[in-house]
Each structure stands twice: as structure tokens, then as C-alpha cells.
Amino acid sequence: MELPIKIISTDFDGTVHSDGEHPRVPLSLQNRIAELQERGVKWVVNTGRDFNSLVAALDSARLKVAPDYLVVVEREIHVRDGQGYDACLAWNERCRSDQAILFAKVEPRLEAVVDWINERYQAVIYADDYSPFCLAAATNGDADGILRHVGEAFRDMPELSIVRNDVYARFSHAAYNKGTAMSEVARLNQVSRNHILAAGDHYNDLPMLSLDHARYLVAPANAISEVKAWVSRQGGYVSLDPYGHGVVQGLDHFLDQTTAKVAI
């Protein structure tokens, strides 16, 4: 029988991985993914970490199963090749080119925005290789206020998006996020959104936790309230268990549900 789920796209930190868990990714989830991979299912780790940070975290977690794809900094795609990962050059180069063009338009207007923030908030603002504007706010309330102002300041640039995770945020091109990267992986594998499961816990997961990109949506118990509500409204599964324990419950829920429908 053909499996209804052909791609599993999961956030990493707080969704399948927790430093406070032993092992950091539950064996129940690792075993289920390994079983599904043997039947052709692809596992995508879809994260805000950069490539080197994610690879180090995967190594440290001592997983018995390896992701088939890595989506890093919420947009760049790498595919497993033997023991390592190769960049998906066409997508990544287009992404970087579009980002560079957009950020060149943004940068002349940043000084006034940064000055406004510094006059009102205790926040760390910096640039890195992925964004000319990165924010580490003191509190979530401060992040709310800062990002409202930033969004208003750039309201005439709909191609600019703000990617947020807790008190942290950065700029990105609106065409590149966890959802569109996941859909590009699906395109490369000739899989429709009807055969994709996505799981996440925070703001930056919202683009992939969407019926536009995936049919089956999962949030673990530790997900923020906005994510739980968003997943629930779309008919997704909100687990009572946290981290990877909740993800494997959601995965089994949809596999059981869809297999039963097929059997009928």
C-alpha cells in the first residue's frame, strides 16, 4: 500500500530536538522515521540554524537516522549525498541573488529605523551573512513593539518579510521561507502538498505550517499558543506531549487516519 505521507518536514530545536531530553531526539521518532525512510519517505530538517550549526547539533544528538534534506536559515536547501550534504545550487543561488537585490534597497533606510529602536528599547541589533538587520530584543513584548514599527517602516516593500523566533528576528525575501523551501524539496521529488507533513513550534514555522504547502500539520505541546491555534484552525494535530514525542504522535495519528480511509 502506498503511504499517504511522502515528505516529513520538521523544525529542529523545540520540535524534534531538546537539550533537556535524553536522547535529544526521542528514539520513538527516530525509529518511526527510519521505518518510513525505508519505504521511500524523505525527512527534511527545516530550521533557522545555519548549516554548520545544524550539522554540529545533529552530530551531537547522536542520531541513528539522518535527514534526507536540510533547510537552513529558513531557506537554503542541502541534500544528503553519502555521509555529507550538497547544496541545491540553483535554488540557493537564486535565493541569495534575490536577497542581495532586496537588501541593497533596504540598507539606506536602516539607520533611521535602528536609531528609533535604540532610543526606546534595550535591544541588540546587528548584521550577519544572512540579513542586514538582525534583532535580539530584551523581551517578547519589546520584540512585538519593535517589529510593529519595523513592519510599518517598510510597509511599501511587500517583498520584505520579517522572520521571527521568540525575541529574535531578521529580514528575508518574502519568496524564501520554510514553506517555499519545503515546496521546492517536494518539487524536486515530484511530491504534491497532499503528501507532506509539517511540524513546528514557533513563529518562523508558520509559513510551512500551512495548507498551501502541506496537508498534514503537527504542533507539539510546547509550541507557542499562536502556532497551536494556527495548526488547530487548519485541522492539524496539536499533541499533549512535547518535542519529538508530540511529533511522533502526530505522525502516527495521520498515518493511522489516512491508512484507515484507504482501507475503507
- Looking at the chain, the whole-number percentage of residues with pLDDT higher than 70 is 97
Q: How many residues does the chain have?
A: 264
Residue 20 has pLDDT above 90, yes or no: yes
Note the pLDDT of residue 259.
60
| Single-letter amino acid code for the residue at 18 | S
Buried b (16+ CB within 10 A) or exposed e, 50-78: eeeebbebbeebebebebbbbbbbbbbbb
Please give the model's pTM, rounded to 2 decimal places: 0.95
| Three-state DSSP class for residue 91 | helix
E-strand stretches of the chain: 7-10, 42-46, 69-72, 76-81, 84-87, 123-126, 134-137, 160-165, 168-173, 196-199, 216-219, 237-238
Residue 261 has pLDDT above 90, yes or no: no
Q: Which band of pLDDT confidence, cut at 50, 70 and 90, is reported for residue 257?
A: confident
Distance separating alpha carbons of residues 71 and 76, to the nearest angstrom:
5
